[in-house]
């Protein structure tokens, strides 16, 4: 398989993780060992085996569509890294290009 530092950098970008080149180079061989080891799942996962996606058979749980009080705005915003005019403040989301 041989995962390269460039592969790690590409995956890190997908995961929104800003890693240094040194981190990518260090992680590549470690992750390669892990991925080579976990690839063993392919040995027994034949085409006729169904997928198990959850520990329980899942069912949709519905409740009555009634208005209920939610958390007060100031309580929710109290843990935010930045707040402006009673809202979460975010950095710009669109770039110029």
Partner 1 sequence: MSELITKSASELADLLADGQIKSVELTRAHLEQIQAVNPKVNAFLHVDADGALAAAADSDARRARGEVGSALDGIPIAIKDNFCTTGMPTTCGSRMLEGWVPPYDATAVQRLKEAGLVILGKTNMDEFAMGSSTETSAFGPSRNPWDLERVPGGSGGGSSAAVAACLTPLALGSDTGGSIRQPGAVTGTVGVKPTYGGVSRYGVVAMASSLDQPGPVTRTVLDSALLHEIIGGHDPMDSTSIAQSLPALADAAQRCDVRGLKVGVVKEFGGEGYEPDVEARFAEAVQWLQDGGAEVVEVSCPHFEYALAAYYLIMPAELSSNLARFDAVRYGLRLGDDGRNGMEAVTAITRGQGFGKEAKRRLIIGTYALSSGYHDQFYGSAQKVRTLVAGDFDRAFAQCDVLVSPTTPTVAFKLGERTGDPMAMYKADLCTIPSNLAGNASASFPIGLSAAGLPVGLQVIAPPMADDRCYQVGGFIEAKVESDTGPLLAKAAPIVGSKAVW
Contact residues for partner 1, defined by CB under 8 A: 8, 11-19, 23, 27, 30-31, 33-35, 37-46, 49-56, 58, 60-61, 63, 71, 75-76, 78-82, 88, 90-95
CB 45 within 8 A of CB 20: no
The two structure tokens encoding residue 69 = 């009080």
User: Pairing relation of β-strands 83-84 and 87-88?
Assistant: antiparallel
Taking the complex as a whole, the smallest distance from the CB of residue 41 to partner 1 amounts, in Å, to 4
Taking the complex as a whole, the smallest distance from the CB of residue 46 to partner 1 amounts, in Å, to 8
**Which is nearer to partner 1, 2 or 71 (by Cβ)?**
71
Taking the complex as a whole, the smallest distance from the CB of residue 31 to partner 1 amounts, in Å, to 6
**Which is nearer to partner 1, 53 or 85 (by Cβ)?**
53
**Which is nearer to partner 1, 63 or 67 (by Cβ)?**
63
**Can you tell me the distance from the alpha carbon of 64 to that of 61, in angstroms, rounded to the nearest whole number?**
10
Region for residue 85 given its phi and psi (left: phi exceeds 0; alpha: psi -120 to 50; beta: otherwise): left
Strands (E), 1-97: 83-84, 87-88
Taking the complex as a whole, the smallest distance from the CB of residue 5 to partner 1 amounts, in Å, to 12
């Amino acid at each position: 398989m041989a995962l390269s530092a460039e592969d790690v950098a590409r995956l890190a970008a997908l995961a929104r993780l800003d890693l240094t080149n040194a981190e990518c180079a260090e992680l590549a061989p470690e992750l390669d060992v892990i991925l080579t080891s976990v690839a063993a799942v392919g040995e027994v996962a034949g085409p006729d085996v169904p997928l198990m996606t959850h520990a329980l058979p899942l069912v949709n749980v519905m409740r009555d569509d009634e208005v209920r009080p939610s958390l007060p705005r100031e309580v929710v915003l109290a843990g935010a890294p930045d707040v402006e005019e009673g809202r979460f403040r975010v950095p710009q989301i669109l770039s110029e290009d």
